[in-house]
Structure 1
Amino acid sequence: MSQVSYRQSFIALEQWLRGQLLAGEQFSLAYSAEDSQFIRFNHGLVRQASEVRQIEATVRLISNQRHASESLNLTGDADSDCARLTQTLAQLRELLAILPADPYLQLDHQAFESHRESAGNLPDAAQLIEQVTALSDGLDMVGIYAGGPMYRGFASSWGAHGWHAAVSASLDFSLYHANGEAVKITYAASEWDAGDLAAQFAQGREQLIHLGKPRKPLAPGQYRTYLAPAALNSIIGTLRGGFSARALNTRRSPLQALQLGTASFSPQLNLSERASTGLEPLFSSEGSLRQDQTLVERGQLAGQLVSSRSAREYGLPANGVDDAEHPSSLVMAGGDLPTNEVLQALGTGLYIGNLWYLNYSDVGSARITGLTRFASFWVEDGQIVAPIDTMRFDDSLYAMLGDNLLALTREQSLRISTRTFMHRDAQTVLLPGALIDRFTLTL
């Protein structure tokens, strides 16, 4: 199916649903589709290549302060899809007859027209395979490429209509040393750049050489540390639910101390949800127009993510996010440190390429724990000298990103979600690397 065909199938569903409503009924239709190419590599060669074309629709039926919804897979053929929707509507009406009224049902009855299509520029499968196999020559490379257009739509009986098309891709891969150690790299873009990908492979080759050196054992303690963007992304990821209005108002957010003014981040830290620049649509799956929202400004809490339900429950202005109230187009502002001067600025200390298994050891104080992983090194006098053993860290976000934050890199790295369970994801994070004065390793 072409982009035009996907949009036409969405419009056909919308028009059909409008003609099926009974007196007092309203509907919303959330549409999600993708036309994706998946290529799996092993030992730098293609192990599996496949294409996935799928459409999922979520229909919500509302009547007398009651609502019920159902998600179903569709084909793109109007006749067969409408036949399936006929059965779905019948089931939803049966549910509405027995459901109690929802006192917090907050419908955004704003009529809007939103249309955004980002063309992007991706290689075809043959070009991608040629690039990757050439760059992987002589390497034990394992990874998966996922790319192509994604489509989102929303329509409702109160006049909302949104359509969004975006193209993106990611190559998530590891380069293995003969000793079993690995360098993990994720290259993501909507405008694919073979030169940028080659630079990532070149850096990986260099780090593989260092992984072959004898390991340096480290004692627990505090170390001057550089967190590469992938590692910092893992740390920022622990805050995904922290900006939720529901979590903040029920004191379940890890940022409650920031909200109460008893803790703060460094003035260098600025975080915002940028719906206008991300790959997600400008409308939510619940029919609200998403807005840009400053979340942290100069280290202080400056905003929160408020769904329509939380808006009603807590008396707050909504800003168009879904009920989960998580950021989907997060941007962390860069600083003044050039990336090519990171090792010199670090001097002697830790270069951490990745972190994993992160979790909270104390939610109230925003304290997290996890393990170093992949391409983490000991640096002396601005030179990588040895890989380190896997170490556990346990530290507060207010320490790492507060008093101990020395600098942020000037350049930012785009991270596009690599989640492909059920369907590809379009969430993005744009962020720099971070130089930290004291990073606490516990064992």
Structure 2
Amino acid sequence: MSHQAQFTALVQWLQGAITPQERFTLSYNAEASDFIRFNHAKVRQAGHVQQASVDFKLIDDGRHANLNLTLSGDGDVDRQRLSEALHQLRETLTLLPEDPYLLLNEDDWQSSNVQDQPLPDSAHVVGQIARLGEGLDLVGIYAAGQLYRGFASSNGALGWHQANSFNFDWSLFHENGQAVKANYAGHAWSDEAFARRFNLAREQLAFLGHPSHTLAPGQYRAYLAPAALEEIIGMLCWGGFSAQSLADKTSPLQRLYSGDLALNPLVSLDEQVSGSLSPAFSGEGYRRSDLSLVVDGAARDQLVGSRSAAEYGLTANGAGWGESPSALSMKGGSLALDEVLQKLGTGLYISNLWYLNFSDRSAGRMTGMTRFATFWVEDGKIKAPVSTMRFDDSVYSLLGSALEELTTERELILSASTYSQRDTSSNCLPGALIGRLTLTL
């Protein structure tokens, strides 16, 4: 039985099992994934995961409770598990008060999106990695497979989503202990594109053998590669676009949404649900569409979940838990990749950042460390690696007054999270040329 048929059968059974006054929502999550772990460019562990589960919410007169059930794939067994869950939730509801912020979607919408691009053969991918990584200390994890999401409600809403993807997250280590971290992900594998990405990492690895260049604290020109920019954007997603955070004045982009400050006109950020790995519906049963979060440096749309909509009189737009973007897309600029070093001139080429946190959340100021392949560039040429440094700067400078250019080419960065299941979140980002980045130590 296919995943969609399995889900449909459970929905049909549940429709006939509830009483007239009861209502339900049922969210389906499944995957069929290959996981391959590499060390010294050789396969050290390989496995295949097939799993499916449902999140079942029962609602009765403003009270609600939910259970997560692992499915076996056997229709009879899974219906029995759902029946037992229904009984348990009915008993639980009698103990609960009404929820004042429960806001159910009454629409009986229908949505279906099946992205069935053929995935690369895992044996072929292993061969390409082994060939390019021969003789190198390569460590990494390759994950690929089908992801399935479904939603149904007692009101007749029904959504189905299937997406195929691969994600190779790896590092090349130098004998001195330094490393270059890289990633290649997407929907359709290209040997040529992978080779280009791999060769760039290999070129950077060679520079790690040079003596380190020591920098004093201060302000420096810098180029942030897409992976480094993702860390900064990721911090902004911690409540930055959330209706809840904006309403209680804790958003790091509070001053942007109030209109007191603006980002550089080069900056446009969308929640690009269409064509992404993320489903066009939420686990709460609201349809999701593309949103313009920042347009030409100015704030526009917010991410609104149902509870925020109920509490603040807003219209829910399908935002999930935490009201964070799950398919963020940043508009590219005019800077060609092969011109990055020339345009940087003298300054820092930063491949990765890590350990970020807010140093002043209300001001959009954050701090963090450079990581892995960070290089000192002079007159458009890489001269030496730079020891780990700490930065502390405001987003209104990094993506505002100090931002000079964005690259034309963007990189699709898929979430590498596999806690409980593979994540469907993604970011599509350019690189950023920054006129001044503040290093504190």
Q: Same fold (TM over 0.5)?
A: yes
Which position in structure 2 is the counterpart of 1:38?
35
Query: Aligned-pair distance for 1:125?
Result: 2.1
Q: Which one-letter code corresponds to 2:106 in the other structure?
A: H
CA displacement 1:104-140 (0-9 Å, x = unmatched) = 1100011111111001232222111111111111111
Aligned: 1:401 with 2:399? yes
Moved over 2 A (4+): none
Partners of 2:278 and 2:321 lie apart in 1 by: 15
Instruction: Quote how far apart the aligned CAs of 1:333 are.
Output: 0.2
Paired residue for 1:152?
A: 149
**Alpha-carbon distance, 1:334 to partner:** 0.3
Q: 1:55: which partner in 2?
A: 52
Q: Does 1:167 align with 2:164?
A: yes
Equivalent position SS for 2:322: coil
Match of 1:72 in 2: 69
- Tell me by how many angstroms 1:39 deviates: 0.2
Instruction: Give the whole-Å Cα distance in 1 for the aligned partners of 2:231 and 2:361.
Output: 16
Alignment partner of 1:188 is 2:172: no
2:10 aligned residue (5, 8, 13): 13
Letter in 1 for 2:333: G
Q: Cα deviation per residue 1:36-68 (whole Å; 9 max; x = unaligned)? A: 000000000000000000001000000101111
| Structure 1 position 23, deviation (Å) | 2.8
- Indicate the residue corresponding to 1:258 in structure 2: 256
Q: Distance in 2 between matches of 1:408 and 1:139?
A: 32
Give the structure 2 partner of residue 124 of structure 1: 121
Is this contact kept in 1: 2:120–2:188, CA < 8 A?
A: no
**Partners of 1:121 and 1:192 within 8 A in 2:** no
Contact persistence 1:245–1:306 (CA under 8 A): yes
Q: 1:102 aligns to what? A: 99
Which of the numbers 187, 195, 200 marks the counterpart of 1:198?
Answer: 195
Cα distance, 1:403 vs structure 2: 0.3
- Match of 1:146, as an amino acid? A
Q: Residue 257 of structure 2 contacts residue 300 of structure 2 at CA under 8 Å; is this kept in 1?
A: no
Contact 1:269–1:298 at 8 Å: present in 2 too? yes
- TM-fit CA distance, 1:323: 3.7
Give RMSD over aligned pairs: 0.9
The 5 A counterparts of 1:261-276 are 261-276=259-274
Amino acid at match of 1:170: N
Offset at residue 324 of structure 1 (A): 2.2
Aligned pair count? 440
Q: 2-side partners of 1:154 and 1:195: how far apart?
A: 38
- 3-state SS, counterpart of residue 134 of structure 1: helix
For normalisation by structure 2, the TM-score amounts to 0.99
Identity %, equivalent residues: 54
1:284-363 counterparts in 2 under 5 A?
284-363=282-361
In the TM superposition, what whole-angstrom CA distance separates every residue of 1:179-217 from its partner, at most 9, and x where no partner exists? 110000011111111111111111111101101000000
Q: Secondary structure at the match of 1:234?
A: helix
Q: Which moved more, 1:113-122 or 1:391-400?
A: 113-122
- Does the residue aligned with 2:44 lie in a helix, a strand or coil? strand
Measure the CA separation in 2 of the matches of 1:188 and 1:123: 11
Instruction: Work out whether residues 309 and 323 of structure 1, in 8 Å CA contact, stay in contact via their aligned partners in 2.
Output: no
1:87 Cα shift? 1.2
- Equivalent residue number for residue 426 of structure 2: 428
Displacement of 1:399 after TM fit? 0.8
Amino acid at match of 2:5: Q
- Give the letter aligned to residue 206 of structure 1: E
CA apart distance, 1:277: 2.4
- Unmatched 5+ stretches in structure 1: none
Separation (CA, whole Å) in 1 of partners of 2:328 and 2:258: 23
Task: Name the SS of the counterpart of 1:374 in structure 2.
Answer: strand
1:381 to 375, 379, 388: 379
Shift of 1:80: 0.6
Secondary structure of the equivalent of 2:17? coil
Kindly state the Cα deviation for residue 249 of structure 1 after the two structures are TM-superposed: 0.3
* Partner AA of 2:413 in structure 1: R
Partner of 1:233: 230
TM-score scaled by length of structure 1: 0.98
Give the partner amino acid of 1:235.
Answer: I
Q: 1:215 aligns with which of 212, 234, 244?
A: 212
Q: Distance in 1 between matches of 2:311 and 2:202?
A: 53
2:373 aligns to what SS in structure 1? coil
The letter of the residue matching 1:269 is V
CA contact under 8 A between 1:308 and 1:323: conserved in structure 2? no
* 1:141 alignment counterpart: 138
Contact 1:277 1:329 in 2 (8 A): no
Cα distance in 1 for partners of 2:186, 2:389 equals: 31
Cα displacement string for residues 281-331 of structure 1 (whole angstroms, at most 9, x for unaligned residues): 111111110021111111111110011221121111221212421111111
Partner in structure 2 of residue 440 of structure 1: 438
Structure 2 residue 81 is the aligned partner of structure 1 residue 84: yes
Q: Pick from 389, 408, 411 the counterpart of residue 410 of structure 1.
A: 408
2:385 and 2:135 map into 1 onto residues whose CA distance is 22
